Every structure is written in structure tokens, then in C-alpha cells.
Structure 1
Amino acid sequence: MDKIVADTVRAVSFLSRLPVPGRYFSDGAVPAAQSSRSYPLAALIVALPAAALLFLLRSVGLDALFAAALTVLVLALTTGALHEDGLADCADGFGGGRDRDRVLAIMKDSAVGAYGCTALVFSILLRIAGVAAIASGTSAAAAALAVIGVAVISRAAMVWHWHYLPAAKPDGVAASAGQPSSDSTAFALISGVVIGGVLSLPAAGFGGAITALLLAAILCSGFTRMTSARINGHTGDTIGATQQVCEIVSLLGLALWI
């Protein structure tokens, strides 16, 4: 249990800007992959501020669309737009690169191009629309739990993508982060499915929870295969993009049942 707690704290530190106790890093830098099994557990904490805000705003009667926009804003602020950055870089690289080397070069460039801007705009709009659809059709508490549930599901998908593909560049940042083991991946997927599914039930019922999980699995698998075909491996950007894509389709899966 102590190891799971330590891994969860380290995962929270890696996935967000939330402060964590320094004693969990007393042994020095730890490869990010070592804490990957706890990503779905860390998502419970990372998404909590946004979910709490949504609950409060809807409880006082604020319009669902406005509340959803503020919720997505807080999610981005809490993570430092970590995953949004990955999505934008992937969109630029996959959209503008004709071969593997060019795709990787574009993804490494810090500038954001037309593909990246378009991806960010639609990611933000779709997530706001998804949260608003859920918040307008269910209780404040159920909507807040759904936001956390979707966060859990999408972080589990990150681990799946990360484990399935090797690092695209042996000397890159992703390679230095390591790769989740089979046991860590299994733990992340099982905990993500169970926790994410249970938290989604109050908003959309069993059908909605299953739909959200299935859509996340399908899109994660499809994006992973596309990434393998384009660059023969993963990068930090593709891991972040996986989270964004799976969060969007998980929200869609829930909204379809509300």
C-alpha cells in the first residue's frame, strides 16, 4: 500500500501542477514509468479541483455551458496544459510531416502551427460541449463524478499507449522516462476501467459507462496504431494526445446516454 501511495503522489506531481510532499522524491529523480500504474489513481486527485468547481457552480444554478467552460479551464490549469501541448505537437507533426523524420522534427519544434491550433480549438470546444451536455442532463454531483471518471479513463489509456509502443527515439525524453511494465499496465487498465466506470454510473448509467469505456478503448487502439505507422513508437507528445482524444470520446459516450 505504501508503494501505491508513493507512486500515486509521484504521478500527481508528473501529471499536474499540484504541490506534493518532497519526501516522496528524497531518493532523487524517478523515471516516470515507475509510477505509471498509479496514473488512474492520480487522476482522481488531478481532476478533483475542476469537479468540485463544477459541482459548486451547478449547485448555485449557473448555466451548464458557462460552468463547463470554467471546468475545462481549471482542468487545463491544473495540468499545466501538459496534454494539450502534446495534442498540438502531434497534430502539427502528423498533419505536416511526410515521413518519420520530418514528423518527429515538427513535433519537437515548440512553435504551434495551423494543425496544432485547430486541434486545440476543437479539443477545448468538444470537451466543453461534453461536460455541458452531461451537466445539463443530470445532477451537479453526478456531473462532477463524471468529470473525474473521464479523467481516470483517459489516464489509463495513456499507460496503454505508452506500454504498447517503444520509444520513437532511443535518445529522446520519452526513452529516458522508461516504459510501463506489463504488470503496471494491467494495474492501470483494471483500476481505470473499474474506477472510471463506477464514477460514470450516476450520470449515464451502465450503458453510458460501457459506451465511454468502449469508445476510449477503440480510439486509443486506433491512435496507437496510427502512431506506430507514422513514427514507429511513442513520444511524450503522443502520450498526451492519447489522453485528450480519450477524454473527448469518453465524454461523448456518457453524453449519448443522457
Structure 2
Amino acid sequence: MFCVHPVHSRTRGKQVDIREYIDDVARSVAFLSRIRVPQRHFDGHDGRLNRTVRAFPVAGLLIVLPAAALLSILEALGAASLFAAFLVLAVQTLLTGALHEDGLSDAADGLGGGRDRDSALTIMKDSRVGSYGVVALILSFGLRTSALAGIIPLLSPIGAAMVLLAVAAASRAAMVWHWSTLPPARKDGVAASAGQPDPSAVQAALLSGAAIAVLFLLPNAPLLTIASVALAIFAAVFAFTDVVRDKIGGNTGDTIGATEQVAEIAALCALALAL
């Protein structure tokens, strides 16, 4: 009678889990950026992201890695902090295709200019950028650039790169939290078609995002500073999510993308103040 050795079964199960997680990382990178990944990671995939979101923090780290490496090189070469910060954010924006900035702009226009739920959602779908969106983008780039420029001189080249990676992982975890907290505001929107995140995937994303952030921040910042960063991210994302809930009653692809920007701004500003 044929039987499978339990040790071999557990080993194969772990191998399958690892392959599935690698697939989720690749799908997350493709979803959150313009970086191309091999088609084999999408074979048999239905396009839903219920489980895939667990890999968002790791995907964020990989997406921002080139910008972090550039920051390290620029600081080692003695480049001006403001120039380095602006160039690094430009690279990040190119790698993501301005995905999160677009979400921030559309969300600001809808939430700021919409008289009610329906008008807010209509404005968010409009490809044109309004005054609220323009102001939001100016503030986003201005705050992130100035905060990063203030942080760079306080850290080593490697330390500055590690901080950038920590913020990337934490801000992508914040996206998952916002996504999971609210229902889709539209039945035919991006968030609805991608599916509501599974509770286990949300937990994995939050734990991995926090672990990566602490791991990369710990050599460069005291515990009190790390705690202030965590508090700033939580307060900013919680407040933004509450505004979205009151205004449109649920999330959209734009509000999910805007959450990344809100978390990134909060983290960098907290670091600039606390370091």
C-alpha cells in the first residue's frame, strides 16, 4: 500500500507556500509599479488580490530599492541633500508610474470638491486634475523632499537608504490596512474587482511591514523615534480613512493609493522631527 511520508509532505507543503509567496510578491510588484515581472507568476491567476496583498510591504521594499541605492551613492559622493532627495523621489515616481501620486490627486479632488458621495466619486473618475489635486501633489512632494533632505545629513549613506526602505515597507502595509477597513465604494471599481483582502493576508502584511520597518530603522534611530514614526503613520492613516468613510462610505483605488502617500509623508516628517 502506497503512503506518503509525513516529513516529505510537510517539505513539499513548505515549498508550495514559498512558491506561492514569491508569486504574490511578483504580482504585487507588477500591481504597484511599472516594473515588468515574468508572465509565469500570473499563470492561472484570476487577477484578484485577496491573498496577494500580504506581499505588499516586501514588494514596496523591492520597488524602492533602486531609489535607495541611488540615495546611498549620492550621499557617498557628497551631493547636496535637497538635490539628492528630489532626485530620489523622482526615481521612485518613475518606478511606480506615479500610481500613488495619481491616487492622492484624484482622492484630494473628490474628497475636497465633491458636494456629496456621488459627486465625489464622479470627480475621482475624472482624469482631469483640479485645484485640490494640484495642491495635494505640491504638498506631497514638498513635504517629502524637505523631510528627506533634513534626514540625509544625519545618517550614513547606508543608513539613509535603509530608512527609505523602511518607509516603503510601512507605507505599503498602511495601504492594506485602509483597504481592509472599508468596503468598496463602487461595485465596478478597481478595489471591488481586486477583492477584499483576506484577514490572514492583512495580518501578514501588517506584521511584515512592521518587522521590516523596525529592522531597517533600528540601526539608525532610537526606539523612541521608531515609536513616534509608528504613531505618526497610524494617526495620519486613521484620520484619512475616517474622512474617506464619512465622505464616500468606502475605499476606491484612488484612496488606497493616497493612503501610501499619507503614510509616507507622515513617516518622513516624523523622522525629520525626531532624529
**TM-score when scaled to structure 1?**
0.97
Q: Quick one: which of 18, 24, 28 aligns to 2:35?
A: 18
RMSD: 1.0
Provide Cα deviations, 1:204-248, integer angstroms capped at 9, x if missing partner. Answer: 222222111111111111111111110010000000110000000
Secondary structure, counterpart of 2:112 in structure 1: helix
| 1:113 maps to 2:125 | no
The answer for the alignment partner of 2:99 in structure 1 is 82
The answer for the alignment partner of 1:44 in structure 2 is 61
Secondary structure, counterpart of 2:221 in structure 1: helix
Q: Quick one: which of 216, 221, 225 aligns to 1:199?
A: 216
Distance 1:33 1:51 in 2: 29
Distance 1:201 1:121 in 2: 31
The answer for the alignment partner of 1:209 in structure 2 is 226
Unaligned stretches of 5+ in structure 1?
Answer: none
- Per mean C-alpha deviation after superposition, the further-off stretch among 124-133 and 26-35 is 26-35
The amino acid that maps onto 1:108 is: K
The answer for the alignment partner of 1:33 in structure 2 is 50
| 1:72 maps to 2:89 | yes
Moved over 6 A (4+): none
The answer for the alignment partner of 1:137 in structure 2 is 154
**TM-score when scaled to structure 2?**
0.91
Distance 2:199 2:264 in 1: 23
The answer for the alignment partner of 2:74 in structure 1 is 57
| 1:251 maps to 2:246 | no
Distance 1:28 1:152 in 2: 24
What is the aligned residue count? 258
The amino acid that maps onto 2:141 is: I
1:197–1:210 CA contact under 8 A, matched in 2: no
Provide Cα deviations, 1:54-86, integer angstroms capped at 9, x if missing partner. Answer: 000000110111100000001100100000000
The amino acid that maps onto 1:14 is: F
2:189–2:253 CA contact under 8 A, matched in 1: no
Q: Quick one: which of 125, 140, 154 aligns to 2:142?
A: 125
- Kindly tell me: are residues 132 and 203 of structure 1, through their superposed partners in 2, closer, same or farther at Cα, counting changes over 3 Å? farther
The answer for the alignment partner of 1:164 in structure 2 is 181
Distance 2:40 2:21 in 1: 15
1:197–1:213 CA contact under 8 A, matched in 2: no
1:14–1:32 CA contact under 8 A, matched in 2: no
Shift of 1:171: 2.2
Secondary structure, counterpart of 2:222 in structure 1: helix
1:47–1:148 CA contact under 8 A, matched in 2: yes
The amino acid that maps onto 2:176 is: V
2:23–2:42 CA contact under 8 A, matched in 1: no
The amino acid that maps onto 2:29 is: V
1:200–1:208 CA contact under 8 A, matched in 2: no
The amino acid that maps onto 1:86 is: G
- Per mean C-alpha deviation after superposition, the further-off stretch among 33-42 and 241-250 is 33-42
Rg comparison, structure with higher value = 2
